[in-house]
C-alpha cells in the first residue's frame, strides 16, 4: 500500500527542495533543472520527512487541565510531534445513524485488552444520555470534516486524546487515509489498538477501509517542557464565542494568551480579539465574493471556474482582503490549516485575475505552509503539486 506513495514522496522531496530553491532565487536567476541532490544542504530536507520519533513527547499531569502531552525536548517547526493509528474511526453516516453505540461496542470487544483499558481511562466529560463508550468517544474525538480533513466522520487515538486545547495551538492536526510504510513501521502497534478497528479491519487489510493515521505537526518551534496544544475550535471566533463553545462541549474555559488578552500583560495579546474580529470580517468578505463569483459563473454558463468575467478591480479587492487575512493569521500565530487555505484562495483569485506569476507565488506559499503543517508526503502537498504542474502548463 505505502510503496507507491513512498516513491512519490521521495520524488516530491526532491521537488520540495527545487521549489524552495525557486522561491529563494525568484529575484535572481531561475533554473528549470533540478539541482543535484548532493548540492542540497541538509537543512533543506523537511523535518517531517525524517522518521517519526516517539520519544519527542511525554504525558504529564497538570493542576488545571488533567493529563496533557509535553515536549520532552526541543521540537522544530514541521516535525511530526505525534503519529497515531486511531483506535476508532467512523465515517459521517455511522456517526449519525444511531448505530454508533453498537459499532463502538463491537469495535471495543475486538480491541486488545491493553487498548480497551487505555480507552476506558480516557477523559470522560460524562455527556448526558450517552453510554460510557460513546461519551468517552465524543469527549476525545477529532473531527475529520473540512477544513481540517477531507475524509469526513471522526476518530479517536489514545495518545492524541491527551492533547489539551489552546486557541493559539503549536501543532496542526491532520489525518491521512494512507501513510508511507516507514511511518507505520515506526508506530507503536499496541499504543493505539492499531490491529483492530471499529469495523474489525486492520490497516494492512487493503480490501477494507483502512484506519489511516492521525498526525500532529509542530507549526512553530516548541521548547523542551512546553505543553503540546491543538485547537479544538474554529479560529474565526472571538474569545467569548470560543469560551461559550468550550464550556458547552468540553466543560472548560480556555486560558490561553488569546483568551486572557490584556491579563497576559503582553501588549500583543491585548489586541487578539481585534485581530480575530478583523479576520472574521475578511473571511465574510471573501466568502461573499466567492458566492457572487460562483453565481456569475453559473449565469454565464461557464463550465470553467476561471472565466475572465470578474474584472481586475473585483479580484484585486478580494486579493487585498486575503493578503490582510494571511497577515492577521500570522500575527495570531495561526500558521496551520487556516493559513494554508488562505494561500490556496490567494492563488485561486490571482488566477482568476489572470496573474499566473502571482498564482504560482501563492501556490508555493501554500506548499511551504502545508509541508510544515501536514508533512511533505501528505495528500495536501500532492494536491498543491498538481496545481503547480497545471500552472506550469498555462
Ligand atoms: C481530549 S481531553 C484532553 C486530555 C485531558 N486533559 C485528559 O486528562 O485526558 C479534553 C479535556 O481536557 C480538558 N482540557 C483541555 N484543554 C483544556 C484547557 N485549555 N483548559 C482546561 N481544561 C482543558 C477538559 O476537561 C477537556 O474536556
What pLDDT was estimated at residue 304?
52
CB of residue 246 inside a 6 A radius of ligand 1? no
What's the 178 CA to ligand 1 centre distance in angstroms?
Answer: 29
Cα–Cα nearest to 164, from 66, 285, 262: 66
Q: Which residues pair with 164 in a beta bridge?
A: 229
Cα–Cα nearest to 279, from 326, 315, 346, 316: 326
Q: Write the residue with the smallest CA distance to atom 21 of ligand 1.
A: 65
CB of residue 92 inside a 6 A radius of ligand 1? no
User: Does residue 349 form part of some domain?
Assistant: yes
What's the 120 CA to ligand 1 centre distance in angstroms?
Answer: 16
Q: Hey, which of 63, 65, 127, 251 would you mutate to test ligand 1's pocket, going by the most ligand atoms within 8 Å of its Cβ?
A: 65
Supply the mean pLDDT for the chain.
Answer: 81
Q: In terms of domains, do 221 and 83 share one? A: yes
Q: In terms of domains, do 299 and 368 share one? A: yes
Q: In terms of domains, do 151 and 214 share one? A: yes
What pLDDT was estimated at residue 82?
94
pLDDT at residue 380 is higher than 80: yes
312 or 286, greater pLDDT: 286
Q: Write the residue with the smallest CA distance to atom 13 of ligand 1.
A: 65
Name, of 1-15, 21-35, 98-112, 198-212, the range with top average pLDDT: 98-112
CB of residue 161 inside a 6 A radius of ligand 1? yes
361-377 confidence digits (pLDDT tens): 999 999 999 999 999 98
User: Does residue 338 form part of some domain?
Assistant: yes
Domains: count for the chain: 3
What's the 139 CA to ligand 1 centre distance in angstroms?
Answer: 9
What's the 62 CA to ligand 1 centre distance in angstroms?
Answer: 10
What pLDDT was estimated at residue 299?
85
What's the 162 CA to ligand 1 centre distance in angstroms?
Answer: 7
Q: In terms of domains, do 74 and 18 share one? A: no
CA angle 308, 382, 337 (to 5 degrees): 80
In this structure, are residues 104 and 134 in contact, taking their beta carbons and an 8 Å threshold?
yes
Q: In terms of domains, do 153 and 296 share one? A: no
What pLDDT was estimated at residue 12?
43
What pLDDT was estimated at residue 147?
67
CB of residue 123 inside a 6 A radius of ligand 1? yes
pLDDT band, very low/low/confident/very high, at 203 (cuts 50, 70, 90): very low
What pLDDT was estimated at residue 307?
55
pLDDT at residue 26 is higher than 50: no
CB of residue 169 inside a 6 A radius of ligand 1? no
67-105 confidence digits (pLDDT tens): 999 999 999 999 999 999 999 999 877 777 678 899 999
What pLDDT was estimated at residue 266?
87
CA angle 361, 364, 368 (to 5 degrees): 140
Cα–Cα nearest to 360, from 40, 31, 26, 28: 26
Which of the listed residues 232, 253, 287 is the one where a domain comes to its end?
Answer: 232
In this structure, are residues 385 and 15 in contact, taking their beta carbons and an 8 Å threshold?
yes
Cα–Cα nearest to 241, from 231, 233, 229: 233
The CA-based dihedral angle spanning residues 161, 164, 169, 174, taken in that order and rounded to the nearest 10 degrees:
10
What pLDDT was estimated at residue 298?
86
Q: In terms of domains, do 28 and 54 share one? A: no
Q: In terms of domains, do 12 and 56 share one? A: no
What pLDDT was estimated at residue 297?
85
pLDDT at residue 394 is higher than 90: no
What's the 333 CA to ligand 1 centre distance in angstroms?
Answer: 21
Strand pairing class (88-90; 80-84): unpaired
Q: In terms of domains, do 161 and 284 share one? A: no
- 162 Cα nearest atom in ligand 1: 4
Kindly give the interhelix angle for 312-331 and 272-299, rounded to the nearest 10 degrees: 150
Domain of 162, CATH number, reads: 2.170.270.10
Q: Using CA atoms, how far apart are residues 45 and 166, in angstroms rounded to an integer?
A: 29
pLDDT band, very low/low/confident/very high, at 50 (cuts 50, 70, 90): low
User: Does residue 255 form part of some domain?
Assistant: no
Residue identified by cell 479587492 is 317
What's the 301 CA to ligand 1 centre distance in angstroms?
Answer: 50
pLDDT band, very low/low/confident/very high, at 302 (cuts 50, 70, 90): low
Across 327-341, average pLDDT: 97
What's the 171 CA to ligand 1 centre distance in angstroms?
Answer: 16
Q: Using CA atoms, how far apart are residues 165 and 142, in angstroms rounded to an integer?
A: 12
Backbone angles phi and psi of 88, in degrees to 5: -130, 145
What's the 113 CA to ligand 1 centre distance in angstroms?
Answer: 25
CB of residue 342 inside a 6 A radius of ligand 1? no
What pLDDT was estimated at residue 269?
95
- 139 Cα nearest atom in ligand 1: 1
351 or 35, greater pLDDT: 351
Q: In terms of domains, do 86 and 225 share one? A: yes
User: Does residue 175 form part of some domain?
Assistant: yes
Which of the listed residues 232, 259, 286 is the one where a domain comes to its end?
Answer: 232
What pLDDT was estimated at residue 38?
36
Q: In terms of domains, do 71 and 203 share one? A: yes
Domain residue limits at 190:
49-232
Q: Hey, which of 123, 155, 232, 259 would you mutate to test ligand 1's pocket, going by the most ligand atoms within 8 Å of its Cβ?
A: 123
CB of residue 125 inside a 6 A radius of ligand 1? yes
pLDDT band, very low/low/confident/very high, at 312 (cuts 50, 70, 90): confident
Give whole-number Cα distances, 79 to 33, 47, 212, in Å.
28, 5, 19
Q: In terms of domains, do 25 and 62 share one? A: no
Domain of 317, CATH number, reads: 1.25.40
204 or 386, greater pLDDT: 386
pTM summary value: 0.84
Q: In terms of domains, do 154 and 188 share one? A: yes
What pLDDT was estimated at residue 33?
34
pLDDT at residue 113 is higher than 80: yes
Rounded to two decimals, the ipTM of the complex is 1.00
User: Does residue 330 form part of some domain?
Assistant: yes
User: Does residue 332 form part of some domain?
Assistant: yes
For the chain, counts of helices (H) and of strands (E)? 14, 10
Which of the listed residues 172, 207, 232 is the one where a domain comes to its end?
Answer: 232
3-15 confidence digits (pLDDT tens): 344 444 444 443 4
User: Does residue 247 form part of some domain?
Assistant: no
- As given in the structure block, the three cell numbers for residue 121 are 481511562
User: Does residue 174 form part of some domain?
Assistant: yes
Amino acid at each position: 500500500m505505502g510503496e507507491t506513495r513512498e516513491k512519490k514522496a521521495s520524488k516530491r522531496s526532491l521537488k520540495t527542495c527545487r521549489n524552495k530553491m525557486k522561491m529563494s532565487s525568484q529575484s535572481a536567476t531561475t533554473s528549470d533543472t533540478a539541482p543535484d541532490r548532493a548540492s542540497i544542504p541538509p537543512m533543506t530536507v523537511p523535518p517531517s520527512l525524517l522518521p517519526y520519533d516517539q520519544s519527542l513527547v511525554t504525558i504529564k499531569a497538570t493542576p488545571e487541565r488533567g493529563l496533557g502531552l509535553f515536549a520532552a525536548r526541543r521540537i522544530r517547526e514541521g516535525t511530526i510531534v505525534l503519529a497515531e493509528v486511531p483506535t476508532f474511526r467512523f465515517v459521517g453516516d455511522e456517526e449519525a445513524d444511531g448505530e454508533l453505540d453498537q459499532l463502538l461496542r463491537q469495535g471495543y470487544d475486538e480491541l486488545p485488552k491493553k487498548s480497551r483499558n487505555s480507552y476506558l481511562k480516557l477523559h470522560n466529560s460524562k455527556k448526558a444520555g450517552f453510554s460510557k463508550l460513546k461519551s468517552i468517544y465524543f469527549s476525545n474525538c477529532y473531527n475529520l470534516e473540512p477544513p481540517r480533513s477531507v475524509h469526513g466522520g471522526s476518530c479517536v487515538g489514545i495518545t492524541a486524546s491527551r492533547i489539551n486545547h489552546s486557541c493559539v495551538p503549536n501543532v496542526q492536526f491532520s489525518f491521512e487515509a494512507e501513510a508511507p510504510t516507514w511511518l507505520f513501521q515506526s508506530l507503536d502497534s499496541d499504543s493505539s489498538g492499531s490491529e483492530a478497528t471499529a469495523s474489525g479491519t486492520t490497516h494492512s487489510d487493503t480490501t477494507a477501509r483502512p484506519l489511516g493515521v492521525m498526525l500532529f505537526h509542530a507549526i512553530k518551534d516548541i521548547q523542551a517542557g512546553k505543553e503540546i496544544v491543538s485547537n479544538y475550535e474554529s479560529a474565526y471566533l472571538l474569545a467569548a464565542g470560543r469560551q461559550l463553545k468550550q464550556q458547552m462541549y468540553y466543560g472548560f474555559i480556555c486560558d490561553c494568551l488569546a483568551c486572557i488578552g490584556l491579563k497576559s500583560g503582553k501588549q500583543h495579546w491585548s489586541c487578539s480579539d481585534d485581530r480575530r474580529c478583523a479576520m472574521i470580517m475578511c473571511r465574510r468578505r471573501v466568502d461573499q465574493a466567492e458566492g457572487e463569483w460562483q453565481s456569475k459563473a453559473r449565469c454565464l454558463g461557464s463550465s470553467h471556474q476561471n472565466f475572465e468575467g470578474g474584472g481586475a478591480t473585483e479580484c484585486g479587492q478580494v486579493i487585498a482582503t486575503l493578503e490582510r487575512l494571511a497577515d492577521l493569521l500570522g500575527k495570531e500565530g495561526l500558521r496551520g490549516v487556516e493559513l494554508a487555505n488562505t494561500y490556496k484562495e490567494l492563488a485561486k483569485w490571482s488566477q482568476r485575475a489572470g496573474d499566473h506569476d502571482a498564482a504560482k507565488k501563492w501556490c508555493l506559499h501554500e506548499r511551504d505552509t502545508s509541508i510544515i503543517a501536514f508533512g511533505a508526503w501528505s495528500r495536501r502537498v500532492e494536491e498543491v503539486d498538481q496545481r503547480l504542474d497545471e500552472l506550469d502548463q498555462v
